Structure 1
Amino acid sequence: MNDSPGWASPGSAPSDDQQPGVPRPAEPADQSDAASKWSKAQPPAGQWSAPGAPGGPPSPPQQPASNWDGRPQGGGWGGPPPAAKPGVIPLRPLGVGEILDGAVSTLRAHWRTVLGITVTVAVITQICDVLIQRYLLPEPAQVDPDATPSEALSQSLDAMQATLVGAFPSFVITLIATLFTTALLTMVVSRSVLGRPVTLSDAWREAKPRLPQLLGLTLLLTAMAVGIMAVGIVPGVLLGSEAGIVLSLLGGLAAFVVTLWLMIRFSLASPALMLERQSIMKSLSRSAKLVSGAWWRIFGILLLTGLLTFIVSMIIAVPFGLIAYAADDGLGGLLTGQAPEFGWPFLIITGIGAVIAASITYPISAGVSVLLYVDQRIRREALDLELARAAGVPGYGPQQPTDTTPGG
C-alpha cells in the first residue's frame, strides 16, 4: 500500500501474478472459532434424520457462511448484501451503464469544480485557436480538377502538407488542454468515488506534481501513434505513383489497426500514473496488465463514449454553426456551394459553441477513463474493499487516516 488510502500499491497488485478475473480470497472471518461452537458429543454416523422428521433428533445449529472475499456478512438467505455506495458508483464490478452514469453523476455532484476546470480550459483553448485561425493559418491549397494523375497526386500532397501545418497549432493547444483537464478531472472523479468533496484548489494541488509525468506520457503516446502511421503511409507516398497510392492506403489501414490496438492497451496509463504515482513506463505496463483479457470490452466502452460525446458535440455545434454562418452573411454561399469568407462573428460564435460542448464532453470522457481503471482494479484486485475502508463504510475494517488524497 502507498500512503493513499483506497488505492493499492501496484507492487503488491494481484494482477501482476494472477490470472485475469481471479480475485484473491480472504480468510473466512469465523474460521478460528468455528470448531468451538459445536458440541463434542455428536450423534453416531447414520442417525441423522431429515429436518422435521417424526422422532428425529433436532438439526444442529446452522453456522452462517462467511463471505469468501472478506466482505461483511449479509443477513438472511437472500444472497450477498448490496454493494456499498459511498460515492457516485457502487463498489463492485461495474456495467457499462453504471460507468457512464458515474461519469455524469460526478458532473452533477461536483458541478462547480468540474465546470470551473472545463470552462476555464475551454475558454483559453478557444481564444488561442481563434487567434491562430485568424492570423497564423495559411490559405488552403487549391486542387485543379482537370490535372493529370501525377499533378493531382502532387497537389494532393501539397494540400495534405498545408492541412498538417495548419492543424499542428490546434493540435498542440488541444493536447495541452487535454493534459490539464485529464489531470484535474482524474482527481475529482477519484474523490467522488469515495464520496468526498473536492474543490478546484484541492484538485490542482493534488494534480500539479504529476503534470510533468503526464505530459511525458501524452507526448510518448502521441509520438508512438504518429510514428506508426508514418511507417505505414510514407513508403507509398515516396513511391509517387498509382501503385504508391494503393500502398499508402493499405499501409495506412494496417498502421491504424496497430495504433488502435496500442491506444486501447495503454488507455488506462493516465489514471495509473496519476493515482498510483507511477513512472511513465510503469504506467504503460500497468495499463497493459489491467487491459489484458478485457481489450474488446474496454474498446467497446470507449467507442460508445466517443460516439455519445460526438453526438452531444454535434447537437451543440450545429445550431451555433448555423447562427455563425448567418451572422457572417454566409448562408447564401452555403446554399450555392461557395466557400464564404469567415470573419470574427463566425469565429466567436463557433468558439462559444465549442466551449459549451467541451464543458459537457470533457468530464464524461475523463470520468469514463478513470472509472474504467477503477472497475478493472475491482475485478482483478478487490479494490472495492480498500475503497470501502477508505470511505469509512461500516463493516469493512477500521477507517483509514483522514488523508484521502488518491495521488498525494
Structure 2
Amino acid sequence: MNDSPGWATPGSTPSDGERPGTDGGAQQPSTPPAQPEQPARAEQPKQEQPAQPEQPAGDPKWSAEQPPPGQWSSPGQSPEAPQAQPQPTAGWGQQPAGPYGGQYGPQYGYPGGPGQWGPPPAAKPGVIPLRPLGLGEILDGAVATMRTHWRSVLPITLVVATLVQVISVILQKFMLDDLTVATSEDVSTEEMIDTLGSTLATSAVVQFIQVLGTIVVTAMLTMVFSRAVLGQQSSVSDAWRESRPQLLRLIGLTLLLAFGAILLGAVLILPGILADNIGLGIVGFLVWLPLLIWLGVRFSLASPALMLEKSTVLKAFARSSKLVKDTWWRIFGITLLTSVLAFFISMMIVAPFQFIGIIVFGGGLESMEAGSDMGNWGMLVVPAIGLIIAQTIVMPFQSGVTVLLYVDQRIRREGLDLELARAAGLENYGTTGG
C-alpha cells in the first residue's frame, strides 16, 4: 500500500492475507469462490482449464475473473458491488473521491476529472476578475467600463471637455487676436520677446484650465470605476457626491506634483542657464528628466489612493510609494503603453480637424507660415471640436487604467479581492474557494 497522505492505491492490489507466506491466501470474503489450491502453474495441465484465460507466469495470486476496465474495486470489495458515485466538488482544496476509490490531495485533482489541475476561476462581479490582473485585463477592464457604464462616463467627460475647450477658445481669441509672427529680417528683439511671451502665457493659461478639467474628470471617474469593479451602476450625481469632499485635496495634490517638477527642474537646469554654460544645462536636464519620470511613476497611484481611501495628500503620496515599491518597471511599462495609445488615438482624431481648420479657415499653409489669422474663429473652433471628441475618449481610458492599476496592486499586496468580494455580495468568498 502507498502510505503517502491523501492518496490511495488506484488499483485492486492483493491484501496482506494473499501475499505468499501468509495465512488466509486461499480465499477472501465477498469474492467469487476460490479455485482449489493447485500446484505450480508449470505442473498443471493446460487442458484442465479450457475456459480460463491464460494468466501471466509467476502471478498465481491474481483471481481468474477480473472486473472490466475502468471499474477497479478497493481491496476486499466484490466486483459485483456497485461503485460509489463521486461526490461533487466542494471547492478549492476539497476534491471528491476519484473513480479509483481514492481521495486525491487537498489541492490537486486528476486530469479530466471533477477537480482539474490548478485553482478554479476567480469571481468576476464587475469588469475585472478578483485576482491579480495582467496587462490585457487592465486595458480590457478600462474599455469595458467605458462601454458598459457609458451613461455615466460619457456625460462626465463630454461636459468637462466641452467647458474646457470653450474657455480655452475664448482666451486664445482675445490673447492672440493682435498677435502676429513677423518674418522679416528687421524684426526687433523686443517684438520677438513680446511674441514669445504672449504665446507662452496663452499656452500656460490653456494648460492650467485643462489640468483643472482633468482633475474633475479624474475625481468623478475614479468613483465610477470603483463601482464598476463591483458590478454596480453609478450615476453622474452619485459620482459627483462621492468625489466632491476630496476634490480640493486632489487639486492640491496635482498642484504639488507640478510645483515639485518645476522646482526640481529649476535646481538642476537653472544653474547652467545662469552661468551661461550650455554643457552644464544639458547635464542638468539629463539628470532632471529621468528623475522626473521616476518620481512620476512612484506617485502615479496617489490620486486613486486619495479618492478611494479618503486620505490626506501626504498619506496618498506615502500609499502610492508603498504600492509601487518593487513593481516600478511594471507600472512604468503599463503607464507608458497607455500614454502612447492615448497619444495616437488623440492624433488620429484631432489631426483631420486641424487640417480642415487650416485649409478652410486659415488660408492654407502659406498663411499659417506668415503668422496671420492665428486668432481666426474657425482656426480655433474646428480643432477644439476634435479635442473635445479625443478627450471624451482618452480621459476615461487613462483614468480607468490608473484606477485598475491601484486595485491590482492592492490585490497583490493586501488581499483587496476579499474585501471587494464581500462588498459585491459574494458570500463565503475565499473560505471554500468560491
TM-score bracket for this pair, using the shorter chain length: 0.7 to 0.9
Q: Do 1:389 and 1:397's aligned partners in 2 also have CA atoms closer than 8 Å?
A: no
Distance 1:279 1:235 in 2: 34
Report the AA paired with residue 388 of structure 1.
A
Q: Per the alignment, in what secondary structure is the counterpart of residue 378 of structure 1?
A: helix
Q: Do 1:129 and 1:170's aligned partners in 2 also have CA atoms closer than 8 Å?
A: yes
CA shift digits 1:356-384 (9 cap, x unpaired):
00000000000000000001111111211
How far apart are 1:97 and its partner, in Å?
Answer: 1.2
Q: Do 2:171 and 2:202's aligned partners in 1 also have CA atoms closer than 8 Å?
A: no
The answer to whether 1:232 aligns with 2:268 is yes
Q: Do 1:118 and 1:181's aligned partners in 2 also have CA atoms closer than 8 Å?
A: yes
User: Corresponding residue for 2:320?
Assistant: 287
How far apart are 1:306 and its partner, in Å?
Answer: 0.5
| CA pair 111-80 structure 1, distance change in 2 beyond 3 A | same
Which segment drifts farther, 345-354 or 359-368? Answer: 345-354
The answer to whether 1:383 aligns with 2:409 is no
User: Corresponding residue for 1:52?
Assistant: 11
CA-based RMSD: 3.1
CA shift digits 1:29-64 (9 cap, x unpaired):
xxxxxxxxxxxxx9999xx98431521475985266
Distance 2:207 2:304 in 1: 22
2:396 to 363, 368, 375: 363
How is 1:267-282 mapped onto 2 (pairs within 5 angstroms)? 267-282=300-315
User: Corresponding residue for 2:106?
Assistant: 65
User: Corresponding residue for 2:174?
Assistant: 135
Larger radius of gyration: 2
How far apart are 1:287 and its partner, in Å?
Answer: 0.3
How far apart are 1:230 and its partner, in Å?
Answer: 1.4
Give unmatched runs, 5+ long, in structure 2: 16-73, 76-99
User: Corresponding residue for 2:119?
Assistant: 80
Q: Which structure 1 residue ranges, 4+ long, deviate > 6 Å from structure 2?
A: 42-45, 140-147, 154-160
| CA pair 210-49 structure 1, distance change in 2 beyond 3 A | closer
The answer to whether 1:123 aligns with 2:155 is no
How far apart are 1:123 and its partner, in Å?
Answer: 0.6
Distance 1:324 1:84 in 2: 50
2:253 to 217, 241, 250: 217
Structure that is richer in helix per residue:
1
Distance 2:169 2:3 in 1: 89
CA shift digits 1:97-138 (9 cap, x unpaired):
111111111110111211100011001100111111111257
Distance 1:105 1:52 in 2: 50
User: Corresponding residue for 1:306?
Assistant: 339
| CA pair 329-212 structure 1, distance change in 2 beyond 3 A | closer
Report the AA paired with residue 62 of structure 1.
Q
Distance 1:348 1:308 in 2: 25
CA shift digits 1:77-105 (9 cap, x unpaired):
33211111111111111111111111111
| CA pair 159-340 structure 1, distance change in 2 beyond 3 A | closer
Give unmatched runs, 5+ long, in structure 1: 1-41, 68-73, 399-408
Q: Do 2:305 and 2:320's aligned partners in 1 also have CA atoms closer than 8 Å?
A: yes
Q: Do 2:303 and 2:316's aligned partners in 1 also have CA atoms closer than 8 Å?
A: yes
User: Corresponding residue for 2:34?
Assistant: none
Structure scoring higher RCO (CA < 8 A, sep ≥ 6) equals 1
How far apart are 1:205 and its partner, in Å?
Answer: 0.6
How far apart are 1:278 and its partner, in Å?
Answer: 1.1
User: Corresponding residue for 1:206?
Assistant: 242
Report the AA paired with residue 385 of structure 2.
I
The answer to whether 1:92 aligns with 2:131 is yes
CA shift digits 1:320-365 (9 cap, x unpaired):
011111221432526x944441300111111111000000000000
Q: Do 1:324 and 1:349's aligned partners in 2 also have CA atoms closer than 8 Å?
A: yes
The answer to whether 1:108 aligns with 2:140 is no
TM-score (norm 2): 0.72
Q: Per the alignment, in what secondary structure is the counterpart of residue 392 of structure 1?
A: coil
2:352 to 315, 319, 331: 319
Aligned residues: 341
| CA pair 395-237 structure 1, distance change in 2 beyond 3 A | same
Q: Do 1:121 and 1:177's aligned partners in 2 also have CA atoms closer than 8 Å?
A: yes
CA shift digits 1:281-309 (9 cap, x unpaired):
11101000100011111111111000000
1:265 to 298, 304, 324: 298
Between the aligned residues of both structures, percent identity stands at 48
How far apart are 1:236 and its partner, in Å?
Answer: 1.6
| CA pair 156-267 structure 1, distance change in 2 beyond 3 A | farther
Q: Do 1:321 and 1:350's aligned partners in 2 also have CA atoms closer than 8 Å?
A: yes
Distance 1:64 1:204 in 2: 51
TM-score (norm 1): 0.76
Distance 1:145 1:261 in 2: 44
How far apart are 1:237 and its partner, in Å?
Answer: 1.6
How far apart are 1:146 and its partner, in Å?
Answer: 10
